[in-house]
Structure 1
Amino acid sequence: MTWTIYLSGEIHTDWRDRIREGVAAAGLPVNLTGPVTHHEASDDCGVAILGAEPDKFWHDHKGAQVNAIRTRTLIGKADIVVVRFGEKYKQWNAAFDAGYAAALGKPLIVMHQAEHAHALKEVDAAALAVARTPEQVVELLRYVVNGELAGYTDGQTIAE
């Protein structure tokens, strides 16, 4: 089985690349999906495709609707959803994605710094795991997908 993992959340650091590299190095049968991470393209997709909006509210609204087609579809198809909350910006979209995934009954892994634990306590409560680093996410995926736990070398894994 190839697992589909949706990577949601902040777009300003290399966390997706670190997960992609870790998954590849571990040889996990995983397909990673996610939102459009080119900030300007994501903001402007609605007006670029469907026409200009003179009011910034409607410009952003149109883009959010177009992006939601991708987001809802890919979260719906995901086996696991990983949501990263970054340090610098408030990611309301990430919180929405976490809630949407939880409402769909998707297994949810949340990743954020310890100092955000209080602000994200409801999101964390809906998650099945709360990680601090992309490397922890890779180890979670190694265990869940292959039944392998680092440091345990008896060769036994959970049968598919």
Structure 2
Amino acid sequence: MTWTVYLSGEIHSDWRDEIARGSMTAGLAVIFTRPVTHHEASDDVGVALLGSEPDKFWHDHKGAQINAIRTRSLIEKADIVVVRFGEKYRQWNAAFDAGFAAALGKPLIVMHQDEHAHALKEVDAAALAVTSSPEQVVAILRYVIDGDLPGYTDKAASR
């Protein structure tokens, strides 16, 4: 089985690539999907495709709706959803994605730094794992997908 993992959240670092590289190195059967991470393209998709809007609210609204088509479809198809909250910005969209995944009953892995634990306590409570690094996410995926926990062997398999 090939697992599909949706990578949501912060777009200002290479955490997605780190998870993909670590998963490839581990030989995991996984496909990663993601939102559009080009910030300006994501913001401007509505007006680029449907026409300009003089009011910023409607400009953003059009873009959010079109982005939601992609996001909702990919989260619905995912076997696991990983949501990263970055250090710099309030990522309301990431919180929404986490809530949407939780509402669908999708296994949710959340990643953020310790200083955000209080602000994200409700999101963390909905997650099946809370991590602070891409390496921890890869370790979880390795265990979940292959049943591999380094340092442990399956006694039944070694018989």
Note closer, same or farther for the CA distance 1:155–1:24 as it changes in structure 2 (3 Å cut): farther
1:30 aligns with: 30
Give the percent of matched residue pairs that are identical in Structure 1 and Structure 2.
79
1:79 aligns with: 79
Amino acid at match of 2:20: R
2:63 aligns with: 63
1:140 aligns with: 140
- In the alignment, is residue 14 of structure 1 matched against residue 28 of structure 2? no
1:106-121 to structure 2, matched below 5 A, reads 106-121=106-121
In structure 1, what is the Cα distance between the partners aligned to 2:91 and 2:100? 14
In structure 1, what is the Cα distance between the partners aligned to 2:96 and 2:28? 28
TM-superposed deviation, 1:156? 6.3
Amino acid at match of 1:2: T
The 3-state SS of whatever aligns with 2:140 is: helix
TM-score by length of 2: 0.96
Amino acid at match of 2:75: I
TM-superposed deviation, 1:150? 1.5
In structure 2, what is the Cα distance between the partners aligned to 1:109 and 1:9? 12
TM-superposed deviation, 1:153? 4.3
1:54 aligns with: 54
In structure 2, what is the Cα distance between the partners aligned to 1:43 and 1:73? 19
In structure 1, what is the Cα distance between the partners aligned to 2:103 and 2:154? 38
Amino acid at match of 2:79: D
TM-superposed deviation, 1:152? 1.9
Note closer, same or farther for the CA distance 1:95–1:156 as it changes in structure 2 (3 Å cut): farther
Amino acid at match of 1:33: T
Which runs of 5 or more structure 2 residues have no equivalent in the other structure? none
TM-superposed deviation, 1:151? 1.8
TM-superposed deviation, 1:154? 5.1
Amino acid at match of 2:2: T
The ranges of structure 1 where at least 4 consecutive aligned residues each deviate by more than 3 angstroms after the TM superposition are 153-157
In structure 1, what is the Cα distance between the partners aligned to 2:51 and 2:139? 44
Q: Number of aligned pairs?
A: 157
In structure 2, what is the Cα distance between the partners aligned to 1:139 and 1:155? 21
TM-score by length of 1: 0.95
Q: After superposition, give the CA deviation of every residue in 1:53-104 in whole Å (9 maximum; x if it has no partner).
A: 1111100110000000000000000000000000000100000000000000
